[in-house]
Amino acid sequence: MLRTRLAEAEETLRAIRSGQVDAVVVAKKRGARVFTLEGADHAYRVLIESINEGALTLTMDMTILYANQRFAQMVSCPLERVVGGSLLRFLSPEDRRALRSLMRKARSTGSTIQALLIAGDGSRLPVQVSIGCSRQTISMVVTDLTEVRKSEAMLRELSRRVVNAQESERGRVAGELHDHITQRLCAVGFRCQALTDTLSKREAMNVRRMVGEVAEEVERISRNLRPSVLEELGLVAVLRTTGAEFAERTRCSLQFAYVALPARLSNGIELSLYRIFQEALRNVERHARARHVSVRLRQQGAFVRLVVQDDGVGFDAKGTTGLGMLGMHERAGYVDGVLTVKSTGRGGTEVNVRIPVPAGV
């Protein structure tokens, strides 16, 4: 009796794979259910087999009723061992939970999820799964993201090289300003002192004051280009100093709150947070018309978080693609962080960056 039932099951699977049937009846506790194999006609199957994506039809309990050859290639498993089995065996426990959660939402509208397929040889393939549900079956299109991930990695590497080139050039310019322009301005200041006898005291003092202001401004530009205090004293010190200069220059109050970091962060993380902080304050100064800015820095577990919030006029964050905003996102991505900007035309902007801290830091 058992052999007869196994033979019938194998014959049914062969009929499904060859397109000889349009529907399958599956026995359930509450009675038999009919699963229609949509597009079982030859033309439809030829189309599905020719695409470069995996195509699946499943029951609601994730049993695979149909799979094209491309999906079998993705999971490095013969097609006859794919059809009739469960999709869940190709997913990690985390992706299984995520997929089940998504299935509940996908019954009304289509949804997508990114996951890792665990192939028969143990390798893992990054994919995007597009899901559509009917009453009795699930349709899925599985897209290989390997090339997309490679492109993303190449873009991250390119971004890293651009950032390094920028920092190198900033260091060179800062050195030129400090070694040449600042020294020459100091020499001019001394000469102005010598002119006190030929000019009125008031005129000489005005000239000296102007030269001093120019020298201070050049020094400030040089310091912002290459913040040596960041390397010497750390992130908290340079954020406090930059914030104080911003408040004095703009007459906008700034409150800086922080929880002492357990240890020094890497040079890349500290520099990225500093540059993001610089750009956030620059945007406040140029556009926000704010009266108050609050800054919060703390390390939470395996992440360090910096939040810059103002009470200015706000803007449409979704529609903004300026170079400054793009630069902040690139700086965060350079150290595997995530940056979000919340703002509306009703007022106020919050820049929030969250960066993972490598183990041991």
Per-residue model confidence as pLDDT tens digits over 22-35:
555 555 556 555 55
* CATH number reported for the structural domain that contains residue 134 in this entry: 3.30.450.20
CB of 65 closer than 8 Å to CB of 16: yes
Give me the chain's average pLDDT, please. Answer: 79
Give the tens place of pLDDT for each residue, 273-325: 998 999 999 999 988 889 999 999 999 888 999 999 999 988 877 666 677 78
Across residues 188-204, what is the average pLDDT?
Answer: 69
Predicted TM-score (pTM) of this structure: 0.51
Could you tell me the residue range of the domain that residue 290 belongs to?
232-361
- The residue among 204, 226, 248 that closes a domain is 226
- Same domain, residue pair 118 and 181: no
- Same domain, residue pair 291 and 239: yes
Give the tens place of pLDDT for each residue, 81-96: 999 899 999 998 888 8
Instruction: Assign 350 a pLDDT band (cuts: 50, 70, 90).
Output: very high
Q: How many domains does the chain have?
A: 3
- Same domain, residue pair 58 and 187: no
- The residue among 162, 197, 226 that closes a domain is 226
* CATH number reported for the structural domain that contains residue 265 in this entry: 3.30.565.10
Q: Would you say residue 361 has pLDDT above 70?
A: no
CB of 277 closer than 8 Å to CB of 239: yes
- The residue among 94, 128, 144 that closes a domain is 144
